Structure 1
Amino acid sequence: MVMKYLQRLGKSLMLPVAVLPAAAILMGIGYWIDPVGWGAESPVAAFLIKAGGSIIDNIPILFAVGVALGMSKERDGSAALSGLVAFLVTTTLLSTATVAMFLGIKVDAVDPAFGKIGNAFVGILSGIIASLCYNRFHNVKLPDALAFFSGKRLVPIMTAVSMILISVILFFVWPPVYGALVAFGEAIAKLGAVGAGLYGLFNRLLIPTGLHHALNSVFWFDVAGINDIGNFWSGKGVKGITGMYQAGFFPVMMFGLPAAALAMYHTAKTEKKKQAASLLLAAAFAAFFTGVTEPIEFAFMFLAPALYVVHALLTGVSLFIAATFHWTAGFGFSAGFVDFFLSSRLPLANQPYMLLLQGLVFAVIYYFLFRYLIVKFNLKTPGREDDDEVGEIVNAPGKDRFATMAKIIYEGLGGDANVVAIDNCVTRLRVEVKDMRKVDQQKIKSTGISGIKEVGPTSIQVIVGTNVQFVADEITKLRK
């Protein structure tokens, strides 16, 4: 149950994280126009940089709203509003000035932890509390005299009350927690390039569980004082150092994984090469251009887990190398070509084009290592499955393709009689079923999806790829 809840949390975080490309585009163009003055020498650049900063600087608020919306049962607007209310209550009550007033001391004497209360952790916590309040109170009916505050109107009120109590707890708990987070971040930071490499390794190893979001928040956002993404894009940091927890992903996502996809295609069975190519080509392009790697990773993650461990190790090595030579670039969404292009002219970008050279080397390593391991150990990567594992791929022309896929997938899940709830993240359908035995995985696989993962006795994920939203929309139409 805990793992399932954390996976839902990770999925909910994808909504606010998806907003970051807007900030990346705005700030990237602004810095491209004025890479030296950071907007001081160009009104247009200043406008774009400040517009992008309005998103980057408010990531905790986006998390509060996004998590509240994503974790609530009906994804209702009152849940999102409650997430904002929760965050405002906590950050106001525990602000440095307010704490100083409570304690009757000077602002300078307040624990520095309270100066960082408006962080991603508190944003996520606010969203969780708001979603719990929504799920508990959105159907509550009060006496007639208070009927106006019944139902969804009651949710923000109860959220505010709940966060007052949470704030009292945080008043005592947050300083030591913050201290521990800072100590952890500083311990990794002191390891320099080795720390960056370890982070890259565990980032990939945690992808199957969805817990990588928690790890990312420590290094990418201002939870433990590192704030690698925010500082890199705002120009607040040390050139060649800030961005070290981002740069090493570019060689892997833009070059390594597409090369791995090529190796998987070349080692596919002759009669299944066309089928494998349709999956791997689109996945490779998504990884290179946008940095979205789940379509490739889930294509072999469960078919050949040992190969995925090799991929995680190579990711760690990539971050280690980039950090060792102080090659830095950053991303607002993921380490694809778009973010590389936009970040390469940022003030803190340091020899970013060396990452492309590193990427070419990693492409060679990924291709030949993956090809060798696949053939040597007969790993069941896409196109190498046993003949009875995957049926004939179902295709349909044009826009009817997603409707056809949706119909077959939904039937394979057991239809209305078996499907309890269905949702989607960036690449996966997340489904709750009554009876896993009624799920026909072979039928679902016949649509050409990347893979299937059972995450619990009644929970299953169907890895569709970046077109998952269109399939999910079609399934919604089918549900009664």
Structure 2
Amino acid sequence: MKEKLINGLQKFAQAMFVPVLILPIAGLLIAFGNLFTNAGLLELFPVLDNPITTGFGTILSSALVSILNNLGLIFAVGITIGLSDKKRAEAGFTSLLAYIVFIYAMNAFLELSGLLVDPEALQGTGQSMVLGVQILDMGVFLGIILGVITALIHNRFADTEFDNAFQIYGGSRFVFIILIPITVTLAIIMSYIWPVIQEGINSLGGFINQSGNIGLMLYGMLERLLIPTGLHHLVYTPFLYTSLGGVQEVGGQVFEGARNIYFAEMADPNVQVLSKTVIWDARGISKIFGLIGACLAMYHTAKPEKKAKARAILIPAAFTSFIAGVTEPIEFSFMFIAPILFVLHSVLSGLSMVILNLLNVRAIGPNGFLDFLIYNVPLGFEKTRWPFYILVGILWLGCRNPKF
């Protein structure tokens, strides 16, 4: 029994590589495209500010961002293919059909139940648009569930054939027939279960807000830890756009939410130092520095015969995280293969935000290094103390390497 479980987990880990190995490619090209559309770089290099180069960058980034916006579908198909023992192409196609059935079934049930929110105001509601269909935001968790279910049913029934008039219903068609009621039922069940999970995450917001640095550490940890479920949006969104992230008067107007506050403070020349609420958007510390340390550690610990392959995966993943703050390529590389490391990464991310807060660093750092420079350098040292952000990041990079 134990050996069977271990073999199953190993097979699942190998199946994860099917979708995961696509992400570094997408992330690298997104970062490359952003170089041609970044406002700060266009000011430094005016020659790039023309319709051809900016158009190229916009098209390239938009095209590849679609990969990150549809990770649920990609994981559903990829995991199904990876776990299938036979007829893998048909298995992947069946998982695509199951995914489509699921999202439309959930949308229909939510609409019949009167649970669909205004599609123009989805931010922070726990719902999102998936392939143009409004459903609960389950992130890649949905893809993983459907991928595993589809593969299990495919392996069991893909060879089932019928005679005479029923012949067309055999093989992968029979698998799909079995999947239809399972998928529809799952969509209805998750419509009840997932909001409870989302509500639990939302209720943590008040606790985090009232818990000082302990709450801040929990905030930074959950913001990373919940990425595969899509629930991480429910962690940071209330702090960025509601009173949970602070209330501040700037220029005679009252602003709520960390991001709204620091945007107003950036534009007000009378503000000498950004308010402490900016710490809720210092999430980029692990994206810019932390994951580079993780990549270096994984490369150093790779077996000699695997180093070339590891280098090909890790270099573009680290570059993408550093430049653009796109972390999925590297985080998804070890999330399911080494879950303990992913938990450690999440804890260290929260701890790094606490250190920034203790040092009164007021730098804006939600994403990658390019955004960090553009936000903070023009504001100056006194207003942000941004060099300390970099110093903490470098120290944190060195800390990540041996721990990983």
Give your verdict on TM over 0.5. Answer: yes
Give SS of 1:157's match.
helix
Q: Give me the TM-score of the superposition, normalised by structure 1.
A: 0.49
Alignment of 1:414-425 (within 5 A): none
What displacement does 1:131 show? 1.4
Q: CA separation in 1, counterparts of 2:10 and 2:292?
A: 26
- The one of 154, 174, 193 equivalent to 2:174 is 154
Q: How does 1:279-294 map to 2 (within 5 A)?
A: 290-291=317-318
Task: Show the counterpart of 2:286.
Answer: 248
Q: Which structure 1 segments of 5+ residues have no match?
A: 203-214, 265-275, 331-342, 371-480
CA distance in 2: counterparts of 1:56 and 1:70, whole angstroms: 20
- Aligned partners of 2:143, 2:331: CA distance in 1, in Å? 26
CA distance in 1, matches of 2:164, 2:31: 55
With a CA cutoff of 8 Å and minimum separation of 6, indicate the structure with the bigger relative contact order: 2
What one-letter code is carried by the residue in structure 1 that aligns with 2:32? I
SS of 2:33 mapped into structure 1: helix
How many Å separate the matches in 1 of 2:136 and 2:144?
Answer: 12
Selected match of 1:99 from 110, 114, 119: 110
Query: Contact 1:83/1:126 (CA < 8 Å) preserved in 2?
Result: yes
Q: Aligned pair in 2 of structure 1 residues 361, 22: CA closer, same or farther (>3 Å)?
A: same
User: How has the CA–CA distance of structure 1 residues 218 and 31 changed in structure 2, closer, same or farther, with 3 Å as cutoff?
Assistant: same
Name the CA distance, whole Å, in 2 between partners of 1:82 and 1:135. 12
Deviation of 1:76 after TM superposition, in Å, equals: 0.5
Distance in 2 between residues matched to 1:193 and 1:288, nearest whole Å: 33
What percentage of residue pairs aligned between the two structures are identical?
20
Query: 1:65·1:84 contact (CA, 8 Å) conserved in 2?
Result: yes
Deviation at 1:19, TM superposition (A): 2.5
1:406-432 deviation line (CA, Å, top 9, x unaligned): xxxxxxxxxxxxxxxxxxxxxxxxxxx
Separation in structure 2 between the aligned mates of residue 188 and residue 64 of structure 1, nearest angstrom: 33
Relative distance call for 1:243 and 1:123 in structure 2 (3 A) is farther
Aligned residue type for 2:196 = P
Pick one of 80, 92, 96 that aligns with 1:68. Answer: 80
Q: Tell me the amino acid that sits aligned with residue 117 of structure 1.
A: L
Question: Is the CA contact (8 Å cut-off) linking 1:218 and 1:226 kept in structure 2?
Answer: no
Structure 2 residue ranges without an equivalent (≥5): 43-48, 128-133, 241-257, 263-277, 319-329, 377-385
Contact 1:79 1:130 in 2 (8 A): yes
* Structure (1 or 2) with the greater helix fraction: 2
Q: Which residue of 1 aligns with 2:227?
A: 219
What CA distance in whole angstroms lies between the structure 1 residues aligned with 2:194 and 2:344?
38
DSSP-derived class of the 1:225 partner? helix
- For 1:345, the equivalent position in structure 2 comes to 370
Aligned length, in residue pairs: 318
Query: Is the 1:261–1:280 Cα contact (8 Å) retained in structure 2?
Result: yes
* Matched letter for residue 292 of structure 2: M
Aligned equivalents of 1:22, 1:295: Cα separation in 2: 12
CA deviation profile, 1:279-328 (whole Å, cap 9, x unmatched): 999979976664469999xxxx9xxx9xx999997676446446774563
Quick one: which of 177, 181, 187 aligns to 2:197?
177
CA deviation after TM superposition for structure 1 residue 25, in Å: 3.0
Offset, 1:191: 6.2
Counterpart mapping for 1:116-131 below 5 A: 116-120=135-139, 121-131=141-151
TM-superposed deviation, 1:166: 1.7
RMSD over aligned Cα atoms: 5.4
C-alpha distance 11-280 of structure 1, shift in aligned 2 (>3 A): closer
Equivalence for 1:89:
101
Paired position in structure 1 for 2:20: 17
Give the C-alpha shift of residue 251 in structure 1: 3.2
Match of 2:58 in 1: 46
1:361 partnered with 2:395: yes
Structure-2 residue corresponding to 1:31: 34
1:328 corresponds to which of 365, 368, 380 = 365
What letter matches 1:128 in structure 2?
Answer: V
- Aligned equivalents of 1:166, 1:144: Cα separation in 2: 33
Q: CA deviation at 1:199?
A: 8.0
Is the CA contact 1:138–1:151 (under 8 Å) kept in the aligned structure 2? yes
Q: Find the residue that maps to 1:33 and give its secondary structure.
A: coil
Against the structure 1 CA distance between its residues 99 and 310, is the aligned structure 2 distance closer, same or farther, given a 3 Å change threshold?
closer
The CA distance in 1 between the partners of 2:9 and 2:208, in whole Å, is 24
Q: Distance in 2 between matches of 1:312 and 1:118?
A: 21
